[in-house]
Structure 1
Amino acid sequence: MTMSSNQKPTACLVLADGSIFYGHGFGATGTTVAELCFNTAMTGYQEIMTDPSYAGQVVTFTFPHIGNTGITSEDDETADPFAAGMVVKWDPTEPSSWRAREELAPWLAARGRIAIGGIDTRRLTRAIRQQGAPHVALCHSPDGVFDLEDLLAQAKGFA
């Protein structure tokens, strides 16, 4: 876990094999169940989230600076995201691009997409490479309360 030890987790990612990753939730609250994949691009997180080829997947971004350029409608591939959720190493920062019209977290929330930050994304990517794309349950709960048994059952039951 890459979050500091004095921060309470507000999100967790539960893999069907029982692995659990805790971090900071942002975007929408709730739970999404999907296949986990990864993307190694250094740019284009908004395009990736709105790309139909990522439908039904939670995308792990290996590049740590996701969200730093913000959001602009000109970069959408489609009107709404197809990706079910997002996993990042560092929490998004305030946008630095002059093109930005919105920040990543509110954009995700408005579109019902859950994200988790504070994750060792390279470790997670290694797990995906070794065992294939696992099914996962991604939960963002601002109070930090998680029903891990239910999340594991949802991940195992994803078809």
Structure 2
Amino acid sequence: MNEDDLLFAVRRVRESLAKSNLTWILREIDETLRLGKPAVRTVIEVQEDAPDLIHMRVLTSAGEEKKAARRKTTVPTTESYSAQEELNLLLDAIERTIISSSDMQSYVMSNLADRDSKHPYRGILFERDGEISSELPYGNRESALVEVDSLRQAIGSLRERAR
């Protein structure tokens, strides 16, 4: 994918999340983008000659002039995320919030059904305090599982194309 395709994909994923009442994911991603990714830079400190100062020449024991010392220092900093990295952040967030939650719900529901067949469980809801539910809006469980599998395949396909 070229840069324009990546930006288009980012825009479409963002629109989809906004339409699905998952704006809290977008806020988290935006905060991550604002902070930037950690990086380390090497800075070389060089002493500049100033015309108004008296300079002393430093000679080595062999009588040669010694060059001014340069000191390397590493400095922690941040860098901006690329469009590719932003897309990966969005896809990772979708996988963690929707797909993993659905997988966890399926696992728990099947274990509960095995333990207590007298009381059928309808579902488990994962949500953040004060936020609109992130539950997928599907009437029945099979339909939801099919949609989650489709989403999983779409993310995998998008990741392949983005490489």
Higher share in strand: 1
Higher share in helix: 2
On whether the aligned pair clears a TM of 0.5, the verdict is no
TM-score (normalizing by structure 1): 0.26
- Who wins on radius of gyration, i.e. which is larger? 2
Bigger RCO (CA 8 Å, 6+ sep): 1
TM-score (normalizing by structure 2): 0.26
